A and B are shown apart, each in its own frame.
Chain A
């Protein structure tokens, strides 16, 4: 059985930053990723990120991924396993992993879970027709595999992912016929919506999908208007011919390992679903298990990166790896996270976090 100081599960922005910053202190890290490559969702993000320099603002997600992957590969004390799925975290601290088809046991001293979140789906008749995708799936097809997900598409959801992916569909050459949003207002950043609207893509607020249509594949949808109680208004139905529909209706954290490990969980709507309770240093109710990124609460890549850095630094320090710059770096990361969350755009997340944070023990 392999022993390791720190096991980081998931090599998206949070996991990469956790592994990098822990390794920079001298700790021995095993970074495990179930996909073939590193980078998580960053590898599909062709848009430029917001935030400040610390979160690589102004850089495209794909370029940030390249920088972080490069950095992680340069640190010889990070062992990287791809095509490696963590199967379980057991009460005796043993972690089981399926690595390239082989069943492996690892005993880490500390674990950082950075498994991210998955797309939700939506219930309506024929929602299983080929041509109906999660928004992330459309991104994967066009930005990673250079395949058009459709020629004429509608986006459901005007949160950030919906409005960003709608724009990326346009860049790939898809005719985007509109965005429907059930709420009376657009949830995503206004600048993302503005890019669509000034290019003639309508955003229909208080609208939803009534049904999808098609015999073998998607051929069209019926959309309808919603009243103040979010109920369909009779007579407001409209048929739109499309060959692709993207559902961008929220993400939910991928927390199976944390449930199994016995961490205390709570359903917090503002964070996307069930999340583990944690202290201000990203530690769950199991003092050997830490979290970072969307698994801790659905937010943004910028927050994921800084949470990863915090968790990596703290865990390394717990194991006795503490460089002179630790305290300064740690405090700076906390300030950056605070600054990111201090504006009106983060109000909902802050409400969620207030329910998720345990009293600090130190």
Chain B
């Protein structure tokens, strides 16, 4: 498992934060409560968040600020969640979304 967390930074202070557990397609993962789900995934080396509707192209973060729709995933059964701004909570079930996701 990758760890891409920055621990020491020459300008910023990153205090150690408590981790919470969540799942990605049923697999147990860890992240900081309150950080965007996408940040928790990228920190663990998971960069593929969905596959596009027609050509099943892998998609990940592009804008990281909620503008572009590149990061849509299904969270706790709700599709099209912008995980680059959605805060992580303990126990969340996150799924890699295929296309537009299922509403019903």
Binding site for B on A (CB under 8 A): 34-36, 46, 60, 62, 118-119, 121, 128-134, 136-138, 140-143, 145-149, 171-173, 216-217
Contacts and interface: CB of A to CB of B under 8 A. Distances in A.
A137 B6 contact: no
20 contacts: A36-B85, A60-B11, A118-B63, A118-B65, A130-B58, A130-B59, A133-B61, A134-B63, A134-B64, A136-B65, A137-B64, A137-B65, A141-B42, A146-B6, A146-B9, A147-B6, A149-B42, A171-B11, A217-B47, A217-B60
Given A119-B63, A130-B48, 19 more contacts: A34-B66, A62-B12, A118-B67, A128-B62, A129-B60, A130-B60, A130-B61, A133-B61, A134-B62, A136-B63, A138-B64, A141-B61, A142-B6, A147-B5, A171-B9, A172-B9, A173-B6, A217-B58, A217-B60
B5 A141 contact: no
Contacts of A34: 66
Contacts, number: 90
A276 to B, nearest CB: 20
Interface string B50-62: 0010000111111
A141 B60 contact: no
Contacts of A134: 62-64, 68
A216 B62 contact: no
Interface residues of B, number: 34
Q: Which 8 A-B pairs have the closest CB atoms?
A: A130-B60, A137-B64, A145-B39, A130-B47, A140-B64, A148-B4, A146-B14, A46-B11
Contacts of B57: 128
Contacts of A140: 64-65
- Which of A36, A137, A146 counts the most chain B CB atoms within 10 A? A146
B47 A141 contact: no
Secondary structure type dominating chain B contacts:
loop
Contacts of B85: 35-36
A173 B5 CA distance: 11
A133 B10 CA distance: 23
B6 A131 contact: no
A216 B61 contact: no
Contact of A137 (B5, B10, B63): B63
Given A46-B12, A60-B11, A148-B4, A131 B36 contact: no
Contact of B6 (A62, A121, A132, A172): A172
Contacts of B62: 121, 128, 132-134, 137
